Structures are given as C-alpha cells and as structure tokens.
Structure 1
Amino acid sequence: MTILIDKDQVISSPALVPTERDLARDHGVELTIGLVNNMPDPALKATERQFMKLLQAAAGPCRIRFHCFSLPSVKRSPEARWHVESEYSDLSDLKKQKFDGLIVTGAEPVAPELDQEPYWRDLTELIDWAKANTRSTIWSCLAAHAAVLHLDGIARRRLPAKCHGIFDCDVVTSDSMTHAAPAPLKVSHSRLNEIAESDLVQAGYQVLTRSETAGVDVFVRQYASRFVFFQGHPEYDALSLQREYLRDIGRYLARERDNYPRLPVGYFDAATEEKLARFEKKAAHQRHPALTNELPGLNLRADIDAGSAAAVLFRNWLQYLSAETEASIPARQSKDVGSALGLPRR
C-alpha cells in the first residue's frame, strides 16, 4: 500500500492513501521510499509510526511516496499477519520498480545463527536486490548484522550482557549523514550482539559514529546503492526502551526467560532505578506473572533527548536522496526531449 507523506500531513495509519487532487499538486522533488518492517508483533505498528513520523518531520519540501512491506517468512501471530496482509504491499511488488530509499528493520531471532533464520533466504535476496535498485538503503540492528554477514562474511559476536539503553555516540568521520549532528548523539541501542569495528574497517566499511560503551553505531558502504547501517535504533521514541524492559520483566515472571533483565543504561531517573531495584529483589522471591501489577510508576531521565539523533540522520539521508534525484533529472529530461524529436539514442 502506498502512503503519501507531505510536510504538513497528519499521519494516522499506514492505510492512508492520497487522493487524485493530492497527486496532482506540485511539491518539487518526489522520493519513493519503502519500509520492510520485520519487527516482532508487539512492535510492528509502533515501528510503522516511528519511521513515518521521522520521514514526515525530515521531509522539508520533499514529497514522499511511502510503501510498507514485510518479509513473508517472518513468523506472525494471526492478528499481526492480518495487519500485514491487509495494510502492506506484497514483497513481490517491491522488485517491480526502483526505489530511491529503502529502510529494512531487524526481526526477533529464533535460530542460534543468523543464516539459520527462516527468513534468511528472503532477506539475502532483498540485500542483493537493494544494491542495484535503490539509491540508498538503511539496514537497522539485526538487519545490519545480517547484511554484513551476507555481503562480507562478517559474523556478529555475542555480548556478555545485553546492550540496552541510551548511549552517547560521537561522530568520528565527516560525512553527509552526520552533517550538523549534535555532540554527542544520544542513540537507543537494544541488542545481544555486536559487529566489531576492526572487522568492519578491515572489510572496507566506514564507521561514522561510535560510543565508548556501546561500540560502533552508524557505518556505511558504497555500492551502486549507498548502504547505511545502524547498530542502534535512532528511530525509537521515548518509551520504546521502557516497553522492551517491561516486556522482558513479564517474560521473566512467566518463566519464559531465566535471567531478570538489566536496567537500560542512562534511561530511568535515579528514583525510578531505586524503585526498580527493590522490585527486582521482590521478583526473585515471588516469581509470578501477577507481580507485574505491583510494578512502580516509571519516570525517565530529563536528558534522554529521544529522537534528536534520528532527526539529524534522516534529514541528511533525505537530502542525499533528493540531491541524487535532482542530479538525474536533467539527463532524463534531455533523453525525453530527444525521443520527442526523433533523435537517435546513443
């Protein structure tokens, strides 16, 4: 399904379709962008909203045609499958046209190794297609790990503990993606694995941002398409990490995981961290799903600055796509005029 995003348009649903009058308006540069949303069912709709709002805020004078897809081999609940089938375009439609930009999210892992995931074949075919059929593609979190494994055989490494929280990331390479970025960039990370910077540099990737604590954040590689990789989640809203943390507490209390989740780094305020520490001790002795009803009220730190990194990165990404699009317009116009005049093609 196609969603038209204009700067002043209020986004309510991925089912929002433009009218013929909207399509006739002149908005200058027009970009076609796809989101391949493979996030787990509880985060599926939130991820749609996050990326659409980011693109809307970053669009400026651009007009964006936004298409939602999902890998068909990602396992879904009946409700989530109905949502994807009714609101998203079929993945086969993606490969029938060229996209200016593509965003590919990760999926919740179900296999010990990435290349054993049920969606591995679909994902690697998408990686190969995107190299030649987009101007630039963003690979987010697990999708970034899968892409570098497929492209260069770089395997991710298991972390001793989950990297979970908001981390200060520094720009280490001057690049259009990080133009006018605040120092530091505060970025959400939520992952159990990492790609080592030494492996990326040796294979020819360029690291743009990193955190002393969380490691590599954003890195890039140029093919026919410019591939941009996020180990973090700059698109996360202020409550995304809270939802994940509470989900993991629920899984612990339901005995679906062995270990109690660690607090997200740099996220809750000091008073909340104290209350959550007391709750953890209680949960260890009264491990039962009903205990979630006794979770304390949660307050975030005042300085998390959610969305600031994403605003910069996505504005710069759209400007890159717009510049590439505008550069190709004179060549296309010249070709069209030549065809109209009956001139031979060269």
Structure 2
Amino acid sequence: MTVLIDKDQGILSPALVPALGDARGDGREIAIGLINNMPDPALKATERQFIKLLQAAAGGRRIRFQCFSLPSVKRSPEARWHVESEYSDLSDLKRQRFDGLIVTGAEPVAPDLDQEPYWRDLTDIIDWARTNTRSTIWSCLAAHAAVLHLDRIARRPLTAKCHGVFDCETVGSDPLTRTATVPLKVSHSRLNEVAEADLTRHGYQVLTRSAKAGVDVFARQYASRFVFFQGHPEYDALSLQREYLRDLGRFLARERETYPGLPVSYFDAATEEKLIRFEKRARHQRHPAMASELPALNLRSDIAAGSAAAVLFRNWLDFLAEDAATPLSLR
C-alpha cells in the first residue's frame, strides 16, 4: 500500500501517486514507512489512524506513505490476504529511501519478548533503522522490544493494566514537544512498562511523563533519531472503547478470567456508574449473551483524542524536512 498524503487535496489513491521526487510546496515529499504489526482486529484501523494523523500534521507538505508488516506476525487468513494484497513486501523496505519509519507493536504470544516468533525480524529492523532512517518512531510494545534489544532494558509487569487517557507533562525542552500545550492527553493501553531510572541510566532522554502512567515519550540519538512512545499516539476517540469491549467480550466468553478495568479518565461519570452496575451482574451471570445488555457508552468531553499526537507528529515532520535539506557533510 502506497498512498500520497497532501493536506490541500486530501489523500490520493495509489493510482494517482506520481513518481518519487515529484513534489510541490515547501520542498520534496517526505517518505514515511509504517511497519504495522497490530493484531488483526486493529490492522486496518491502525492504517487509517496513522494516515489521518500524518494528514493533520502535514501542513503544506506532501508525504508518501507506504505500509509493511513483519511476515512472522501470525495472521488470520483474512488479515494475511489483506497484508499480501495491500502491503509492500518487507524486503522492499531496504531497497528504498525512507526519511521516517513508524513501527507498531504486536499482540504478545510468548512470556518474554525475545521469545516472540517475530523477534528476529523485528531486531533486524531495529538494527537497519539505526543507520538508514533520519528518525524512527517505536510505538508501545515495539518501544519495549527496541530498548530490550539495544540496551537489554527489560520491561516490568504492572500490577494493573495501564489503560486510559493520561495527562502528561513535558520534560525539559526538545524540538519534538515544541508548541505543545500541557497537559498532553495521551492514550495508554499496556500491561508492562520500562522504568524511567533504567532509561536515563542508559542515556535515553525522557521527553514527556505522566504522574499516573509514568514515562510517555523518550528518545535516543543514533545516526537516526529514535523516538519511543509507551502510549498509542495514533488512537482515535473510540480505540480504548473498542479494546474495553473486546476484553469484556472475552471475559463473558470465558476466554479470560479477569474482568477488565474501566479505562482511566475516559467514560463520563454516568457511563462509569452504569458499567460498574453491569460488572456486578456480569460476574454472577457470566454469559456471552450479556454483551447485548450493555448500556449506551458515552465518553468524557475532554479526552482530546489525537490533539497531542498531532503536535508531536507535526514537529517530527518538521525535523525530517529540515534534516533532509541539510547536506550529509554538515550533519
């Protein structure tokens, strides 16, 4: 899948994408690759979310956006067909020039990250991106995998899932967080974390943090600038709701034993009260058919989905454009 993102004209179909280098506006187009390893139910949504996010951040720039996925990520037949028919082959990644790369996490299937079936493919991408991109973004589980591979920083299990919308503050001054209005509201959905003390001890720069969720964004400079998100910058307003309903459905179907907690600062107060009452019934009457009895779900009015990510990604594109204009001898 290759699309051209042009804010003035919307998103052009692959058939309308001109040859590489045919750009208008403030310089040549920026080439962005997405290695989308999200689980099957979120595969297409993740494509759309990152396209929408980059479109909002593009300004007057033109972005060439191309999708890939690790072949070792297990897929259903339908999802595998989508990847094989719509995505570029991962082997093409190393034969092309990309200014920026975005790598998502995958649903874990092994007790340890370095035992995942896709571990070798993922670490190969980490090593390649260090010297072959201007900057790479590692999201959620991909961030945990990258720091484990690079510096043997092991993630730590949380006592409860970090799930919700969290207020984050900027730490110090960095071009990536320039003009960001704090607090930044960021979606997190994870069972593990990498600790700030471990990161700073190994030379990582913490850019944003939350009092409740811990480190949010951090970075490290190689030949490429690596930017790590423990959260999900791409999530839209309903992403956490879809995850909550998925986990609730698994509980009712006895596919998981723990009842999912409510996402933090996400549903409005009236919805939370209804869901708490529903939980009491569901624990006693546990049956898949109960899903049809869920109350209407309303979100808080102040979750500001995507607003923080739009600022960070606009600054990221600024960095890519400025760096692209700098001769290699002066970098």
Report the TM range for the smaller structure's normalisation: over 0.9
TM-score (norm 2): 0.96
Does 2:16 align with 1:18? yes
Does 2:7 align with 1:7? yes
CA distance in 1 between partners of 2:67 and 2:139 (Å): 15
Does 2:188 align with 1:189? yes
1:17 Cα deviation from its structure 2 partner: 3.4
Count of aligned residue pairs for this structure pair: 329
| Structure 1 equivalent of residue 231 of structure 2 | 232
Query: Does the Cα contact within 8 Å between 1:165 and 1:189 map onto a contact in 2?
Result: yes
Paired residue type of 1:18 = L
1:286 Cα deviation from its structure 2 partner: 1.0
| Structure 1 equivalent of residue 28 of structure 2 | 29
1:25 Cα deviation from its structure 2 partner: 5.4
| Structure 1 equivalent of residue 144 of structure 2 | 145
CA distance in 2 between partners of 1:214 and 1:34 (Å): 28
CA distance in 1 between partners of 2:312 and 2:235 (Å): 13
1:188-215 per-residue CA deviation (whole Å, 9 max, x = no partner) reads 0000000000000000000000000000
1:20 Cα deviation from its structure 2 partner: 4.4
Q: 1:57 to 1:197 in 2, by over 3 A?
A: same
1:139-175 per-residue CA deviation (whole Å, 9 max, x = no partner) reads 0000000000000000000000000000000001210
| Structure 1 equivalent of residue 197 of structure 2 | 198
| Structure 1 equivalent of residue 214 of structure 2 | 215
Query: Does the Cα contact within 8 Å between 2:151 and 2:202 map onto a contact in 1?
Result: yes
| Structure 1 equivalent of residue 125 of structure 2 | 126
1:11 Cα deviation from its structure 2 partner: 3.6
> Which shifted more, 27-36 or 121-130?
27-36
Q: 1:271 to 1:77 in 2, by over 3 A?
A: same
- Secondary structure of 1:139 counterpart: strand
- Where in structure 1 do 4 or more consecutive aligned residues deviate above 2 Å? 8-12, 15-29, 328-331
Aligned ranges 1:1-346 → 2 under 5 Å: 1-11=1-11, 16-20=14-18, 24=22, 26-27=24-25, 28-328=27-327
1:60 Cα deviation from its structure 2 partner: 1.2
CA distance in 2 between partners of 1:135 and 1:202 (Å): 24
- Secondary structure of 1:265 counterpart: coil
1:104-155 per-residue CA deviation (whole Å, 9 max, x = no partner) reads 0000000000000000000000000000100000000000000000000000
Paired residue type of 2:147 = V
1:21 Cα deviation from its structure 2 partner: 9.1
- Secondary structure of 1:252 counterpart: helix
Supply the RMSD in Å over aligned alpha carbons.
Answer: 1.6
Q: Which structure 1 segments of 5+ residues have no match?
A: 332-346
Query: Does the Cα contact within 8 Å between 2:22 and 2:28 map onto a contact in 1?
Result: no
Identity, in percent, stands at 76
Query: Does the Cα contact within 8 Å between 2:38 and 2:106 map onto a contact in 1?
Result: yes
Query: Does the Cα contact within 8 Å between 2:22 and 2:29 map onto a contact in 1?
Result: no
TM-score (norm 1): 0.92
CA distance in 1 between partners of 2:225 and 2:302 (Å): 32
CA distance in 2 between partners of 1:40 and 1:26 (Å): 36
1:47-106 per-residue CA deviation (whole Å, 9 max, x = no partner) reads 000100111111112111111000000000000000000000000000112310000000
> Which shifted more, 201-210 or 91-100?
91-100
CA distance in 2 between partners of 1:22 and 1:128 (Å): 25
1:330 Cα deviation from its structure 2 partner: 10
Paired residue type of 2:302 = D
- Secondary structure of 2:236 counterpart: coil
Paired residue type of 2:24 = D
